[in-house]
């Protein structure tokens, strides 16, 4: 009955049907009390639509039975009886049409509600109202502050003639930049190393489409997120991707994946485009908040019982890469109020900034359970039938934020930038970038 709804909602409606208090408790833990009445509304609407379905099915069965009698009555010359049954069939047809209209209208409202009822969080998610209550789990590497001053990253880059934001302002406006010379090369070296690292760990490399249709966007993220992040191509059903996860997961839309193909492990490169709003004072001079950046991403599609194992493996891969760049990092567990509605569990990897003497986000790992798969219709056929898979995504390296972390943590007192050993072969053997 709800198959058509299944590809566009976050949780199975059976959960509300059988345990709506669990759904309400999850909403309360996310501090979204305004959504609580929606659970009761969809519960009642579900009863209404199932009752209409049952009644319509009964009428259709009776109608078919009566229709088969008409021919027999006509053969027996019982014209009046046949016409009487025809009238009854017409009344039943009208009633079935009314019931189907009720179903359509009710299903539409159910879908609207189910699109905003959040996914069920993992029990391990810490409870908190917003990102200020996210929980540090562990640190990797010693967060040091050198005896000499670390300049602002834009000044470090300018010192090696590596950036031109003024010209980008003329060509494209605020939030864009030119990277030049060895800094541009270092930027690409990080992406190339991340690509090869992921391939060596068994992930298939991909370059996806950089624009996707609206139904893919709403399949992978919530509408408020879409409005805040995505650039739409005017006059076309196309959006510039904010991350390659969107087109990578979208690749499997409406597919039944063979069990022997699981797990699907892929790493993808793409430019990313985002509507970054707000003013951040000094940071606006640099590369913290930009409309365009590049990223190496990883996604996994797997059996439901394996998704938490993959979650831990994925964020650990990012930690390993940043430690190979000589960057101290920490894992920060996202609390319930900071968890996007589609996510089951999420954490950020934050890099140490010796200039600011604090950590800042450079990567994010998320387990979305079957929410994206349910919206996009990504399934597998197993021994117990066809069911939805779990999807996960994680940043491998995103520049220029990752570049900022590398520059600050490898800045030398003489104004040069030490190139981490793992990147030197990607930089033609260079060991450092000299101050100009």
For each of the chain's 436 residues, which pLDDT tens digit applies? Answer: 333 434 457 889 999 999 999 999 999 999 999 999 999 999 999 999 999 999 999 998 888 888 777 766 776 667 777 777 788 888 889 999 999 999 999 999 999 999 999 999 999 999 999 999 999 999 999 999 999 999 999 999 999 999 999 999 999 988 899 999 999 999 999 999 999 999 999 999 999 999 999 999 989 987 777 778 899 999 999 999 999 999 999 999 999 999 999 999 999 999 999 987 654 544 567 888 899 999 999 999 999 999 999 999 999 999 999 999 999 999 999 999 999 999 999 999 999 999 999 999 999 999 999 999 999 999 999 887 999 999 999 999 999 999 999 999 999 999 999 999 999 999 999 999 999 8
Task: Strands of 146-263 (E only): list them.
Answer: 163-164, 178-179, 204-206, 211-212, 231-232, 239-240, 256-257
Give tens-digit pLDDT for 140-162. 999 999 999 999 999 999 999 99
Q: Classify domain 131-433 by CATH number.
A: 3.30.930.10
Q: What's 411's DSSP letter?
A: B
- Measured CA to CA, the distance from residue 383 to residue 29 in angstroms comes to 35
Looking at the domain 3-114, which fold is it?
A: Helix Hairpins (1.10.287)
Give tens-digit pLDDT for 300-338. 999 999 999 999 999 999 999 999 999 999 999 999 999
Beta bridge partner(s), residue 267: 205, 298
Residue in this structure with the two tokens 């199975």, named with its chain if needed: 12
Task: Strands of 327-403 (E only): list them.
Answer: 329-333, 345-353, 358-367, 379-382, 385-388, 390-399
CB atoms within 10 A of CB 145: 13
Residue in this structure with the two tokens 């021994």, named with its chain if needed: 383
Query: What is the maximum span of the chain, computed from C-alpha positions, in angstroms?
Result: 108
Please check whether the two domains, 3-114 and 131-433, share a CATH topology: no
Q: Tell me the pTM.
A: 0.89
- The alpha carbon of residue 136 and the mean position of all alpha carbons in its chain are separated, in whole angstroms, by 22
Domain boundaries, the chain: 3-114, 131-433
């Amino acid at each position: 009955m709800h198959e058509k709804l299944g590809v566009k909602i976050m949780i199975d409606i059976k959960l509300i049907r059988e345990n709506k208090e669990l759904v309400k408790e999850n909403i309360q833990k996310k501090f979204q009390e305004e959504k609580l009445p929606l659970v009761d509304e969809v519960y009642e609407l579900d009863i209404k639509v199932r009752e209409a379905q049952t009644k319509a099915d009964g009428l259709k069965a009776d109608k078919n039975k009566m229709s088969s009698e008409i021919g027999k009555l006509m053969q027996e010359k019982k014209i009046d009886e046949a016409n009487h049954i025809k009238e009854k069939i017409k009344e039943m047809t009208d009633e079935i049409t009314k019931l189907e209209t009720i179903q359509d209208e009710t299903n539409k409202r159910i879908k609207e509600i189910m699109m905003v009822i959040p996914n069920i969080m993992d029990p391990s998610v810490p409870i908190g109202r917003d990102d200020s209550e996210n929980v540090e789990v562990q640190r990797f590497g010693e967060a040091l502050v050198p005896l000499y001053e670390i300049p602002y990253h834009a000044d470090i880059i300018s010192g090696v003639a590596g950036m031109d934001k003024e010209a980008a302002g003329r060509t494209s406006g605020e939030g864009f930049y030119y990277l030049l010379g060895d800094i541009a090369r270092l930027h690409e070296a990080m992406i190339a190393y991340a690509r090869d690292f992921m391939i060596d760990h068994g992930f298939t490399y991909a370059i996806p489409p950089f624009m996707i249709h609206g139904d893919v966007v709403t399949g992978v993220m919530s509408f408020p997120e879409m409005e805040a992040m995505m650039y739409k191509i005017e006059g076309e059903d196309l959006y510039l991707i904010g991350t390659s996860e969107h087109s990578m997961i979208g690749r499997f839309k409406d597919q039944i994946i063979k069990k022997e193909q699981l797990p699907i492990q892929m790493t993808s490169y793409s430019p990313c485009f985002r509507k970054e709003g707000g003013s951040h004072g000094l940071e606006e001079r640099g590369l913290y908040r930009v409309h365009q950046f590049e990223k190496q991403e990883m996604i996994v599609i797997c059996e439901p019982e394996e998704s938490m194992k993959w979650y831990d493996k994925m964020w650990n891969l990012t930690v390993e890469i940043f430690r190979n760049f000589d960057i101290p990092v920490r894992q920060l567990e996202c609390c319930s109020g900071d968890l996007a509605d589609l996510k089951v569990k999420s954490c950020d990897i934050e890099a140490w900034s010796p200039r600011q003497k604090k950590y800042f986000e450079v990567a994010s790992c998320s387990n979305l359970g079957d929410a994206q798969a349910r919206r996009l219709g990504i399934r597998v056929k197993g021994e117990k039938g066809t069911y939805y898979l779990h999807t996960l995504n994680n940043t491998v390296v995103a520049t220029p934020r990752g570049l900022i972390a590398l520059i600050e943590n490898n800045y030398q007192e003489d104004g040069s930038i030490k190139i981490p050993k793992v990147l030197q072969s990607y930089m033609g053997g260079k060991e450092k970038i000299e101050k100009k």
